[in-house]
Amino acid sequence: MYYDPFVLPFTIGLTALLLFLAVKYIRWIRTFRKSERRKIRKGMFSLKTFRAAGEVFSECLLHRKIYRTNPFLGYMHTCFGLGWFLLIVAGKTESMVYHTSAFNPPYFAIFFRFFHPAKETFPYSETFAFITDLLLLFILSGLFLALAKRFWSRIVGMRKTTKHRPLDLLILTSLWLIFPLRFLAESFTSGLRGGGSFLTNNAGEFFAEFLPLDHLTYPAWWAYSGMLGLFFVLLPFSRYMHIPTEIVYIFLKNWGIRQGTKFNAFSKIQMYACSRCGICIDSCQLNSSLQMDVQPVYFLKKIRHGKEYESLIENCLMCGRCEASCPVGLTHNALRLSKRPDLSRITKNTYSYAKNAAMPAPAKVAYFAGCMGQLTPTVTRSMERILEQAGVSCTYIDKEGGVCCGRPMLLAGNREEAAVMAEKNRAILKASGAEVLVTSCPICLKMFREEYGLQIRIVHHTEYIDELMREGKLKTVPGEQRTVFHNPCELGRGCGVYKAPENILKHVSRKIDTDFDGKKSLCCGGSLANTSIDGRQRNRIAGDAAKAYAAYQPDVLVTACPLCKKTFATASAVPVKDIAEVVAECCRP
């Protein structure tokens, strides 16, 4: 039997950690609703599990998404994730080949070089030694980058990194020390009695020349085991809870569990799955324009450690840029929203004094300008012109006064109020008999699509115009204006509409591609979701965004949201137009 007392810290630490995790996860999942538990049972024995496993490999080990932020940052995470995993796998395989039995204690593989008499060879022993040395070098190179990142984060493409708690810095140190200690323990052993490969063997010979290795080797193994044990014991209290929890999150997500309207056990799993990598910080314009520390990393950190987080609940634009950049794929908007309390005051009776809105004339296509659409007559007029030109018979359901779609209330947390609005609008829509609902406002679009449960087609005006142009119903002439497109948060990241505006602008203008196309588009700062910042702060965000777009020297900054248009109007030196205006200018009969 292979055993030495130095393996105890590692073994005890690992056992304690696994017990703790098992209890924690089971307790969380037991609080899930019945329907969700059923989803888990069903999902477990389906292809979804394989998909989840694939995602675990690419995100938890390879860290694929981080490469999008910066290749060096991605490499650093691959070193730790994939490197450590492969080191364990290679070690375990090696131990099994040597021992010819699958059942050896877990510490045996970890401390193989200690137990294995170096002179004794076994099949592929040199190959194994080479692979484990290579993997150790791989991890150490990542460690070097991690150290460099502490001092100069720009080297891995990060302007600002997370401010960590002292305990997290302690466990960070213990994690970092694991690999150099393994390197030392293996090198010392090799220096004393041979074995190892290009890395540990050469290092061992080097150390043997001036160090009393017979006195240092055994303590080095103690230190290595102790550091592993310390890391395992501290892990549940630190941000490294993300390592096991992210795996659980990925499986649950693939089995169909979603963040609901309440902050529940699944929210906690998301919260613990946050690695505090800090990638969200640079993506957040409240940081880049206003230097505010309100990003998901801080929001979740404060909730988890019982700090004051209430002031952060409202201070979020819900633009979704953090979600788009989050390597763990957490649903930050839904998480933030789940903490906003429902303080609804409006009921069905609130507007009883107002006469019922006039029911619209029936037509197949209904156009809903929305509140912000009513405040931007240029947009609604352009739409009227376009629809007329294309020969679409359309009913303008909120032209003579309408009801808000309810999204502002929903974003404030007041779901009941939003439901009152939705009920009114559903009745109006039903009366119109429309089969297609067109809106110019992406905020309304998201609301109609996600909260109304309508059985008709709901499209944004960009999608509808694109369709009319493709079908040849709307004829346009190519425009000469150089345009840059600002994709509104609720349209792009919110509803996944990217292609339609792109197609349109390429037809009616000379569209300039920017770094902010697609998922990376900026927020104008006008967001309804943030009730915490004031007009001047909004204006600063808008000004910075406008400047970023202006750097491409467009003739016009084009957007597809009346709120974005209004927000930019005060902040942009470049003229701002809605995409409908640009199309209307290029219409021909």
Nearer to other proteins, 141 or 570 (CB): 570
570 makes contact with other proteins (CB under 8 A): yes
Q: Least distance (Å) from other proteins to the CB of residue 60?
A: 45
Return d(Cα 163, Cα 295) in angstroms, integer: 12
Return d(Cα 469, Cα 463) in angstroms, integer: 10
Q: Least distance (Å) from other proteins to the CB of residue 399?
A: 8
571-576 long-range Cβ contacts below 8 angstroms, 24+ apart: 571/525, 571/539, 571/542, 571/543, 571/545, 571/546, 572/542, 572/543, 572/546, 573/546, 574/484, 574/546, 574/549, 574/550
Looking at the DSSP bridge assignments, the partners of residue 476 are 587
CA 187 to chain CA mean position, Å: 41
Nearer to other proteins, 362 or 535 (CB): 535
- Output the six-digit token pair for 306: 């019982």
Q: Least distance (Å) from other proteins to the CB of residue 141?
A: 49
- The 398-417 contact track toward other proteins, x by CB under 8 A, reads -x-x----------------
Q: Which listed residue (391, 496, 534, 589) binds other proteins by CB under 8 A? A: 534
531 makes contact with other proteins (CB under 8 A): no
Burial of 184 (0-12, 13-18, 19+ CB in 10 A): buried
Nearer to other proteins, 209 or 534 (CB): 534
Nearer to other proteins, 324 or 405 (CB): 405
Can you count the helices (H) and strands (E) in the chain? 31, 10
291 makes contact with other proteins (CB under 8 A): no
Q: Least distance (Å) from other proteins to the CB of residue 486?
A: 17
Q: Which listed residue (132, 267, 333, 376) binds other proteins by CB under 8 A? A: 376
Nearer to other proteins, 102 or 354 (CB): 354
569 makes contact with other proteins (CB under 8 A): yes
Only one of the segments 76-84, 202-210, 237-245, 561-569 lies at the binding site for other proteins (rule: CB under 8 A); that segment is 561-569
Nearer to other proteins, 14 or 372 (CB): 372
Q: Least distance (Å) from other proteins to the CB of residue 535?
A: 4
382 makes contact with other proteins (CB under 8 A): no
Q: Least distance (Å) from other proteins to the CB of residue 566?
A: 6
Looking at the DSSP bridge assignments, the partners of residue 365 are 394, 436
Closest CA to 337 of 234, 412, 433, 255: 412
Q: Which residue has the tokens 């696994």?
A: 18
Between the two ends of the chain, the Cα-to-Cα distance in Å is 90
378 makes contact with other proteins (CB under 8 A): yes
150 makes contact with other proteins (CB under 8 A): no
Nearest-Å Rg of the Cα atoms of the chain is 29
Q: Which listed residue (332, 493, 511, 565) binds other proteins by CB under 8 A? A: 565
Nearer to other proteins, 11 or 289 (CB): 289
374 makes contact with other proteins (CB under 8 A): yes
377 makes contact with other proteins (CB under 8 A): yes
Return d(Cα 540, Cα 472) in angstroms, integer: 42
Nearer to other proteins, 262 or 536 (CB): 536
Return d(Cα 84, Cα 139) in angstroms, integer: 7
Name the helix (H) or strand (E) containing 483: strand 482-486
Nearer to other proteins, 348 or 381 (CB): 381
Size of the site for other proteins (CB under 8 A): 19
462 makes contact with other proteins (CB under 8 A): no
Q: Least distance (Å) from other proteins to the CB of residue 475?
A: 25
Q: Which listed residue (86, 375, 454, 528) binds other proteins by CB under 8 A? A: 375
Q: Least distance (Å) from other proteins to the CB of residue 265?
A: 40
Nearer to other proteins, 70 or 374 (CB): 374
Contact 425, 452 (CB under 8 A): yes
Nearer to other proteins, 113 or 538 (CB): 538
Q: Least distance (Å) from other proteins to the CB of residue 19?
A: 56
- Output the six-digit token pair for 442: 């992406």
Q: Which residue has the tokens 């960070």?
A: 172
Q: Which listed residue (566, 577, 579, 580) binds other proteins by CB under 8 A? A: 566
Nearer to other proteins, 362 or 401 (CB): 401
Burial of 480 (0-12, 13-18, 19+ CB in 10 A): exposed
In order, the DSSP letters of 181-244 are: HHHHHHHHHHHHH----TTHHHHHHHHHTTS-HHHHHHHHHHHHHHHHHHHHHHGGGSGGGHHH
CA distances, 559 to each of 181, 478, 548, 577, 581 (Å):
56, 18, 14, 6, 10
- The 332-371 contact track toward other proteins, x by CB under 8 A, reads ---------------------xx-----------------
Amino acid letter for position 180: P
Only one of the segments 101-109, 376-384, 453-461, 496-504 lies at the binding site for other proteins (rule: CB under 8 A); that segment is 376-384
Instruction: Report the side by side order of strands in the sheet with 394-396.
Output: 394-396, 365-368, 436-439, 457-460
Q: Which residue has the tokens 């107002």?
A: 354
Q: Least distance (Å) from other proteins to the CB of residue 388?
A: 14
Return d(Cα 203, Cα 208) in angstroms, integer: 8
381 makes contact with other proteins (CB under 8 A): yes
Q: Least distance (Å) from other proteins to the CB of residue 236?
A: 47
Q: Which listed residue (119, 215, 536, 588) binds other proteins by CB under 8 A? A: 536
Residues making contact with other proteins (CB under 8 A)? 353-354, 374-378, 381, 399, 401, 534-536, 538-539, 565-566, 569-570
